[in-house]
Chains A and B, each alone.
Chain A
């Protein structure tokens, strides 16, 4: 059984080799968030990690646990807790959506009548209610994505692993998909692992982020904590003699860096008032042309992690 203190995913020096080639190297992390983002450039090992969590690949060394269950020893039980939405097409073209999703529900252990009922519910939930009797082979790319989501949630998993869920979706469909992910997290009590190269999607939905590069974890970020810490960044453009401007602001607790002549980046301390900035600029007859107030984005974190 699982309890709230058990990590959703725990990797303990996990290494994976495919065809004799090392793909994942000594991964170690414990993830407890409701939504976990898995980021990395192409070939970083994201899909290999997902496939390993599902028991498709055996670890070469180390272990991985899902809700405290070893994925290698308790593969069957782990799979009963997980729903998986693959990145690529994964369906039977000749079957209707409702029939296919019902079958997948039954293979997960649902009794036939319940599986049928939940197949209808899942299809209505993802927005394919009107097209549920159509053959999957006739679906558009966006509809196939939704059908894949429906088959992943039909059996009511505790954890859903989404591999590039917004691939091929138009902007309204993408927003709808992200809304559904948030709904599943908040209302259905599911944990979500979102694997994507779209940083915006991860930033919009995830609480924790693991960044992989070359099969290694290069960064772990607790976005919730970072949001709470609310590091305040200000980007400024000035015209005029800026001598002493940075010193004046640093004396008030801010950290200043001049990116280029007339371009500044500042990290502001809590409760810092912008009045001090305007006053320091006025005292030096410095013209403030632009002032952007922003927090550190996931893109900043990602680029920093990848460049390491």
Chain B
């Protein structure tokens, strides 16, 4: 029978698993996001650099000209932790831009028309809601960060052999841990700022600006107090230190890795605190 000829009836059929119900939110978000051509184009462009890196890895591992001349391969043509740090910096930057584009569209539209009571009057918790919104970014950013990173790593292993793997396994750990930390930070920041600012453009600017403001503030503190502890408020410095530490590279200056991790968790908890204050079905006016 056609749908329009039916009348209302109660539902007694099977229900979906509550464990993965939060994944409903990313599915609907992607429908909306991929309707935007610019965003789709930007996402596609984010894959060009990993493809270039793959070509570079192939090129470096297949240089016969140096060996035929009896020369060793120059240092700048080696695939090591510096190469992967450059890859992480570049793709991490793209992930940052992508989160600034997507972040404002996540929670702000729900708040603009007071949709939260409709969400939370269902068997769907606040934690699931936040997890669902974060997973929108987590899945997309994973596609352009750690997934191509891991693929490049194993491509290098396939080209250079198991000897390279035994001496560079920590790079895999650095790619996974470093990018997961970065995605978590970006996702939490984007979702928290989207929850507090209803206007999409302002929320996007704030996501972009929070890194610039942090860097400026850190620089001011370091100059005035003649210290390097000011870098603890510079989010990009925090992540750079964590990545460098994971890749066994000296970050040159700034804060120590334990301090960077501490600052990282402090920012994450602050974002969760902001979300906990804002994501409520009803606002209590004191």
- Chain A complexes with chain B: yes
Residues of A within 8 Å of B249, CB to CB, are none
**Cβ < 8 Å to B, chain A residues 66-113:** 76-77, 79-80, 82-84, 86, 88-95, 99, 103-104, 106-111
Pick the contact of B123: A77, A84, A124, A183 (CB < 8 A): A77
Instruction: Answer whether A56 and B282 are a contact pair too, CB < 8 Å, given A94-B32, A107-B124, A109-B16.
Output: yes
Residues of A within 8 Å of B110, CB to CB, are 92
Contact A111 B16 (CB under 8 A): yes
Contact B11 A114 (CB under 8 A): yes
Q: Nearest A residue to B4 by beta-carbon distance?
A: A124
Residues of B within 8 Å of A187, CB to CB, are 7-8
Contact B117 A90 (CB under 8 A): yes
Q: Does A172 contact B (CB under 8 A)?
A: no
Pick the contact of A84: B115, B121, B284 (CB < 8 A): B121
Contact A84 B118 (CB under 8 A): yes
Q: Does B163 contact A (CB under 8 A)?
A: no
Contact A125 B282 (CB under 8 A): no
Residues of B within 8 Å of A189, CB to CB, are 10
The answer for the CA separation of A81 and B251 in the assembled complex, in Å, is: 56
The answer for the CA separation of A129 and B118 in the assembled complex, in Å, is: 21
Contact B115 A153 (CB under 8 A): no
Binds B, one of A115-123, A204-212, A226-234: A115-123
Contact A93 B112 (CB under 8 A): yes
- Interface flags, B100-130, vs A, CB<8A=1, else 0: 0000000001101111111111111100000
Q: Nearest B residue to A53 by beta-carbon distance?
A: B121
Chain B CB within 10 Å, residue with most, of A93, A109, A124, A153: A109
The answer for the CA separation of A107 and B20 in the assembled complex, in Å, is: 10
Q: Does B28 contact A (CB under 8 A)?
A: yes
Q: Nearest B residue to A189 by beta-carbon distance?
A: B10
The answer for the CA separation of A178 and B257 in the assembled complex, in Å, is: 65
The answer for the CA separation of A122 and B32 in the assembled complex, in Å, is: 23
Query: How near does chain A come to B50, taking the closest CB pair, in angstroms?
Result: 32
Contact B114 A107 (CB under 8 A): no
- Interface flags, A45-76, vs B, CB<8A=1, else 0: 00000010010110000000000000000001
The answer for the CA separation of A158 and B10 in the assembled complex, in Å, is: 8
Contact B6 A106 (CB under 8 A): no
Q: Does B68 contact A (CB under 8 A)?
A: no
Q: Does B15 contact A (CB under 8 A)?
A: yes
Q: Does A141 contact B (CB under 8 A)?
A: no
Give the contact-size bracket for chain B: 35 or more
Contact B16 A103 (CB under 8 A): no
Query: How near does chain A come to B153, taking the closest CB pair, in angstroms?
Result: 36
The answer for the CA separation of A86 and B110 in the assembled complex, in Å, is: 15
Residues of B within 8 Å of A183, CB to CB, are 8
Instruction: Answer whether A110 and B10 are a contact pair too, CB < 8 Å, given A56-B120, A79-B123, A90-B114.
Output: no
Pick the contact of B122: A79, A88, A184 (CB < 8 A): A79
Q: Does B13 contact A (CB under 8 A)?
A: yes
The answer for the CA separation of A107 and B24 in the assembled complex, in Å, is: 7
Residues of B within 8 Å of A177, CB to CB, are none
Residues of B within 8 Å of A82, CB to CB, are 121
Contact A121 B8 (CB under 8 A): yes
Q: Does B14 contact A (CB under 8 A)?
A: yes
Residues of B within 8 Å of A151, CB to CB, are 118
The answer for the CA separation of A92 and B286 in the assembled complex, in Å, is: 27
Residues of B within 8 Å of A79, CB to CB, are 120-124
Query: How near does chain A come to B199, taking the closest CB pair, in angstroms?
Result: 14
Residues of B within 8 Å of A84, CB to CB, are 117-118, 121
Query: How near does chain B come to A157, taking the closest CB pair, in angstroms?
Result: 8
The answer for the CA separation of A249 and B31 in the assembled complex, in Å, is: 75
Residues of A within 8 Å of B12, CB to CB, are 156
Contact A90 B284 (CB under 8 A): no
Chain A CB within 10 Å, residue with most, of B32, B110, B123: B123
Q: Does B3 contact A (CB under 8 A)?
A: yes
Contact A76 B109 (CB under 8 A): no
**Cβ < 8 Å to A, chain B residues 262-286:** 280-282, 284-286
Q: Nearest A residue to B28 by beta-carbon distance?
A: A103
The answer for the CA separation of A88 and B283 in the assembled complex, in Å, is: 13
The answer for the CA separation of A184 and B9 in the assembled complex, in Å, is: 9
Contact B6 A110 (CB under 8 A): no
The answer for the CA separation of A129 and B7 in the assembled complex, in Å, is: 12
Pick the contact of B24: A19, A20, A103 (CB < 8 A): A103
The answer for the CA separation of A51 and B121 in the assembled complex, in Å, is: 9
Other than the given A19-B286, A54-B281, 4 more pairs (CB < 8 A) read A76-B18, A86-B114, A110-B16, A156-B12
B interface residue numbers (CB < 8 A to A): 3-4, 6-16, 18, 21, 24, 28, 31-32, 109-110, 112-125, 280-282, 284-286
Instruction: Supply 21 A–B pairs (Cβ within 8 Å), ascending by A.
Output: A19-B286, A51-B282, A76-B125, A79-B124, A80-B122, A80-B123, A82-B121, A84-B118, A86-B118, A90-B117, A93-B109, A93-B112, A107-B124, A111-B15, A111-B16, A124-B4, A137-B113, A148-B118, A155-B11, A156-B12, A158-B10
